[in-house]
Amino acid sequence: MGRLKFATVWLGGCSGCHMSFLDLDEFLFDLAARADVVYSPVGSDIKEYPEGVDVCLIEGAVNNDENLEAAKTVRDRTRLVVSFGDCAVSGNVTALRNTIPDGARMVASRSYLEQADLNPMIPQAEGIVPTLLPLALPVHAVIPVDVYIPGCPPPADRIKAVVQQILEHGTAHLEGRQLKMG
Amino acid sequence: MDLNELIELAEKEILGRKPLRIRICTAAGCLSSGAKAVKQAMDAAVQAAGLGEQMEVSEVGCMRLCCEGPLVAVDPENTLYQRVSGDQAASIVASLNGGGPPSATKGDFSQPFFTRQKAIVLENSGLVEPERIESYLAVGGYQALYKCLRELTPAHVVEEITASGLRGRGGAGYPTGVKWGMVAKMPAERKFVVCNADEGDPGAFMDRSVLESDPHRVLEGMAIAAYAIGASQGYIYVRGEYPLAIRRLETGIRQAKRLGLLGSQIFESSFDFKIDLRIGAGAFVCGEETALIHSIEGQRGVPRPRPPYPAESGLWGCPTLINNVETFANVPAIIREGASWFASIGTEKSKGTKVFALAGKIKNTGLVEVPMGTSLREIVETIGGGAPDGGTIKAVQTGGPSGGCIPASLLDTPVDYESLARLGSIMGSGGMIVMDQTTDMVDVAKFFMEFCMDESCGKCIPCRAGTVQLHRLLSKIGSGQGTSHDLATLESLCEMVKHASLCGLGQSAPNPVLSTLAYFREEYVARLRDHAEGNGRASAAQSAAL
Amino acid sequence: MAVKTLTIDGTLLSAREEQTVLQAARDAGIAIPTLCQLDGLSTVGACRMCLVDIEGTGRLLPACTTRVAEGMVIHTKTERLQSYRRMIVELLFAERNHICAVCVANGACELQDLAIEVGMDHVRFDYLHPECSVDISHKRFGLDHNRCVLCTRCVRACDEVEGAHTWDVAGRGTAARVITDMAQPWGTSETCTSCGKCVQACPTGALFIKGMTVAESRKDRSEIGFLVTAREKKQWVV
The ipTM of this complex is: 0.96
Tens digit of pLDDT for each residue in B389-423?
A: 999 999 999 988 999 999 999 999 999 999 998 99
How confident is the model at residue B539, as a pLDDT? 39
Q: What is the dihedral of CA B200, B205, B206, B207, to 10 degrees?
A: 50
Q: Is A100 in contact with C100 (Cβ distance < 8 A)?
A: no
Q: How far apart are alpha carbons A16 and A152 in whole angstroms?
A: 8
- Closest by CA position to B400, among listed B252, B205, B160, B175: B205
Which phi and psi angles does C11 have, rounded to 5°? -95, 125
Q: How far apart are alpha carbons B42 and B36 in whole angstroms?
A: 10
Q: What are the chain A neighbours of C121 within 8 Å (beta carbons)?
A: 89, 148, 150, 173-174, 179
User: In the CATH scheme, what is the code of domain B19-110?
Assistant: 3.40.30.10
| Chain C residue whose CA is closest to B476 | C126
Question: Please, which chains are in contact with B (at least 3 CB pairs closer than 8 A)?
Answer: A, C
Q: Which long-range contacts (CB under 8 A, 24 or more apart) does B415-418 make?
A: B415/B354, B415/B370, B415/B372, B415/B373, B415/B374, B415/B375, B415/B376, B415/B379, B416/B346, B416/B347, B416/B349, B416/B350, B416/B372, B416/B373, B417/B167, B417/B173, B417/B349, B417/B350, B418/B349, B418/B350
How confident is the model at residue B537, as a pLDDT? 41
CATH of B141-343, one of 3.40.50.11540, 3.30.420.10, 3.40.50.2000, 3.40.50.1450: 3.40.50.11540
The band of A2, judged by pLDDT with boundaries at 50, 70 and 90, is confident
Quick one: CA dihedral B317, B323, B329, B330, positive or negative?
A: negative
Tens digit of pLDDT for each residue in B419-458?
A: 998 998 888 889 999 999 999 999 999 999 999 999 999 9
CA angle A11, A12, A14 (to 5 degrees): 105
Question: Please, which chains are in contact with A (at least 3 CB pairs closer than 8 A)?
Answer: B, C
Of C100, C126, C130, the CB nearest to A181: C100
Tell me how crowded residue C199 is: count the other CB atoms within 10 A of its CB: 23
Q: Is A142 in contact with B544 (Cβ distance < 8 A)?
A: yes
Chain A: residues touching C (Cβ < 8 Å): 83, 86, 89-93, 95-96, 98-101, 135, 138, 140-141, 145, 148, 150, 152, 173-177, 179-182
Q: Is C47 in contact with B465 (Cβ distance < 8 A)?
A: no
CB contact at 8 A, B231 and B193: yes
Q: What percent of chain A clears pLDDT 70, i.e. is strictly above it?
A: 99
The domain B442-534 having CATH identifier 3.50.50.60: the answer here is no
Tens digit of pLDDT for each residue in B113-126?
A: 999 999 999 999 99
Q: Spell out the alpha helix ranges (H) of B501-528.
A: 504-508, 511-525
Q: How far apart are alpha carbons B113 and B123 in whole angstroms?
A: 15
Q: Is B457 in contact with C91 (Cβ distance < 8 A)?
A: no
Q: What are the chain C neighbours of B466 within 8 Å (beta carbons)?
A: 87, 91
User: In the CATH scheme, what is the code of domain B353-436?
Assistant: 3.10.20.600
Tens digit of pLDDT for each residue in C177-235?
A: 999 999 999 999 999 999 999 999 999 999 999 999 888 888 889 999 999 999 999 99
Give all domains of chain C, ordered by start, each with its CATH number: 3-77 (3.10.20.740), 83-233 (3.30.70.20)
Q: What is the dihedral of CA C86, C88, C92, C98, to 10 degrees?
A: -10
Tens digit of pLDDT for each residue in C63-91?
A: 999 999 999 999 999 999 999 999 999 99
- How far apart, in Å, are the Cα atoms of B199 and each of A65, A91, B60, B325, B359? 50, 43, 22, 9, 16
| Chain B residue whose CA is closest to C124 | B489
Q: What are the chain C neighbours of B502 within 8 Å (beta carbons)?
A: 45-46, 48
Chain A: residues touching B (Cβ < 8 Å): 68, 75-76, 133-135, 137, 140-144
| Chain C residue whose CA is closest to A176 | C116
How are beta strands B353-360 and B366-371 bridged, if at all?
Answer: antiparallel
- Closest by CA position to C109, among listed C93, C130, C125: C93
* Stretch(es) of chain B classified as CATH 3.40.50.11540: 141-343
Q: What ranges do the domains of chain A cover? A: 4-99+132-175
Spell out the CATH class of A4-99+132-175: alpha beta
How confident is the model at residue A159, as a pLDDT? 98
Q: How far apart are alpha carbons B459 and B455 in whole angstroms?
A: 11
Q: How far apart are alpha carbons C187 and C139 in whole angstroms?
A: 7
